[in-house]
Each structure stands twice: as C-alpha cells, then as structure tokens.
Amino acid sequence: MIRIFGAVLFCAAPAGAAAPSGPVLLDSSFGKAVLIVGGDVMLGRGIGKSIAGRGAAYPFSAIAPLLKKADIVFGNLESLFGESAYPPVFIEKSYNFLASTSSVKALKHGNFSALSLANNHAMDYGAPALADTQRLLQKNGIGYFGAGDDLTRARKPLIITRSSSGLRVGFLGYGIVCSTSLIAGKTRPGVAPIVPNYMYRDVLNARKRTDFLVVSVHWGSEFAKMPSNEHRRLAHKIIDLGADAVIGHHPHIAQGFELYKGKLIAYSLGNLLFDMRHKGSDRSVLLRMSISHRTINSIELIPVDRFNKYFPRPARNKVRQEILDEIKKISAPLNLGPSALTVLGLVKE
C-alpha cells in the first residue's frame, strides 16, 4: 500500500543502498540510499558569468544543504566544458552551450555524482569537447553516461556502488539530437539515441548488473505540458523490462508524474539551473527518493523557484503550493485508474 502525506509518497520495501563515496548514507542501518533527481543544468552564458563573478558555490547555494544530504545527486548536463577552443558543429543552431572548465566546481558544490550527457547539446562543439568534458567530470569524481566515443560506450550504464551496502544503482541515458551525424556510431562519438530496440536490450542487460535502475530520456517538445502517447508507451515498456524509474528532460518545464506498476515515471522535471525565465521555465521540481533493492521506499516532490533570476531555491508558501497544484493538474490524465490518482494525492480517499 502506498500513501501520500503532503508531497511525500511512502511504500513498504526491502533494504538496500548505494552511493558514491563522500556523503554519509542516511538510514544506513536499514540499507537505504537517498537519491535526489533534478532537471536540466546549463553552466554557460549568464550562469557562467555569474560563476566567474560570484564563485562556483553560488549557483546551487540555496539548495546545497538539501543536496548534500543525499547519497546520489543526478541531473542532465546541457553544456559541454571548454575554453572556446572548438568551433560549434552547427553554426545555424540557435543555441550552442559551452561552459568554462572552472565551472565544473559548481557541480562539486552541488554534490552531483551522476550526470546524463544524452541530450541535444552534448555535441555542440564536437567530439573533442565531448571528450574534454568526460575527462573533466572523471577527474572531479562525477559519473556520466548517455554519450561516448562510440555507440557501445554511449549506451554503457553508469553504475554507482555503495561499498557499505553493496547495492548497485545504475543509470542509462538516451537523447534527441539535431542531426543524425551526432548520434554515436560503431566508430563515431556521439549521443545514445532514442531507439527502442537499443533501450530494451540495454535495460535487460543493466538490470542483471544493478539493484536499482534509472533510465534518463531527453525527449518531448519544449514547453509542452504533456508527454506524447508514444513516449508514455515507451516509458511503460522500459519499466516492464526492469527499470525502476524513468526520468525525462528537455521540455524546460515540469510535466506530469505517473506511477506505473509501482515504479515512477517523471516525464520532465523542468530546468534546475538555466538562464531562462519565460513560459514557466523558472519553476521546477526536485525529486528526493529513498531507494532500496528494486524498490522506491518514499518519494518527496520538492518545488523549486528562483532567486536572482536564474538560481534554484526551495519554493515557499504560495509559490510552493502553486507548483504542487500544477503538478497535480498535469499528472491527473497520466494515471491508470482511481487507485493511482489517490496514491499521487490527486483525489481524496
């Protein structure tokens, strides 16, 4: 039985835990790990200027106390790292994102341990910048997935194991691109594409090697409040094959949440850090989950708004309630029946 109290979802579960070295594991006596999931993170443009002027701790300063209590913090990285040495691959693109290499320190202050590179900006500055980004993340102890030197490496899961418990948390990532030339190939660097047969095979293989599996998908239309029926079917199939959570990115605003067979689907979490404010892109949600072996023990939806235009902070009072009300509204059509609606707090028991 799962019940919701405020914005917190609870269900009974067995034990297990996983996290990279660093933070102290919460509830370690019960073998649980705390996973915090955020939306799109972009460290270039105006965010980069702020980091240069205010320091690397500034962007996540308002949510850092929250993030540092988690064992694993995961988000979608929308900007490569480099020092403008590489020209953009597609000059005609409206936006190409490149962050200073020193900006990686902001991710460290935000306690990030897992980042998806499977998105439409991972190849903005080509294979050399992607390789530099991967090396920089690795040097700073931040795991990545979803893009690589070839298709095999792009589809390879990131697996984080907490030595104190042995629980293995896996991440797979897939994303859209502006050109098929940016999709990873047999000998070509690039992004792991949203190809169902690849995804199904990868989930089946990764499930054998992990105790909790997250699949990240960069999909959908920008500023669309609802996922497509095609993406809903894909998310359901991924869970049918063994994923424990499906997390979406790209629309820049939050979309609905769905419970499917006891597993979580978050179709889009919106922006976590982005120099963008229009069409509701300055409001988003963090997910804080207690996880164990094949189980989500609890879920908390943490509404997030902005300070100084672009920087995330926990939303308060009226704004907090407005964000939760909107999530409930857009989640209502996504659930499979009255019981699921009740679980998500969208109707009263």
268 falls within a domain: yes
Mean pLDDT (the chain, rounded): 87
The pLDDT of 133-158, averaged and rounded, is 97
Question: Cα–Cα distance between 208 and 14 in angstroms, integer?
Answer: 18
Tokens of 61: 């300063």
Determine, yes or no, domain membership for 348: no
pLDDT band with cut points at 50, 70 and 90 for residue 6: very low
In a domain, 349, yes or no: no
Q: 91: pLDDT confidence band, cut at 50, 70 and 90?
A: confident
The 10 Å Cβ neighbour count of residue 54 is 13
For residue range 241-285, list pLDDT tens digits in order.
999 999 999 999 999 999 999 899 999 999 999 998 888 899 999
The stretch 6-20 carries a mean pLDDT of: 32
CA-closest candidate to residue 170, choices 162, 178, 182? 162
In this prediction, residue 16 carries a pLDDT of: 32
Structural domain contains residue 25: yes
The mean-pLDDT minimum among 9-23, 42-56, 322-336 falls in 9-23
How many distinct structural domains can be found in the chain? 1
Provide the residue range defining the domain that includes 219.
2-343
**3-state percent breakdown (helix, strand, coil) of the chain, nearest 5:** 30, 30, 40
pLDDT of residue 30: 41
Which H helix or E strand runs over 80?
strand 80-81
pLDDT at 26: 34
Question: What integer pLDDT is reported at residue 298 of this predicted model?
Answer: 87
The domain that holds 269 is classified in CATH as 3.60.21.10
More confident residue, 343 or 94: 94
The answer to whether residue 220 sits within a structural domain is yes
Please indicate, yes or no, whether the overall pTM of this predicted structure exceeds 0.85: yes
The pLDDT assigned to 21 comes to 28
Check pLDDT > 80 for residue 64: yes
What's CA 285's distance to the chain center, in Å?
A: 11
Report yes or no: 183 and 193 within 8 Å, Cβ to Cβ. yes
Lowest-pLDDT range of 7-16, 49-58, 207-216, 311-320? 7-16
* Residue 11, strand partner residues: 2
Q: How confident is the model at residue 92 (pLDDT cuts 50, 70, 90)?
A: confident
Residue 339's pLDDT is 61
What lies within 8 Å, CB to CB, of 121 at 6+ separation is 42, 78, 79, 80, 95, 96, 97
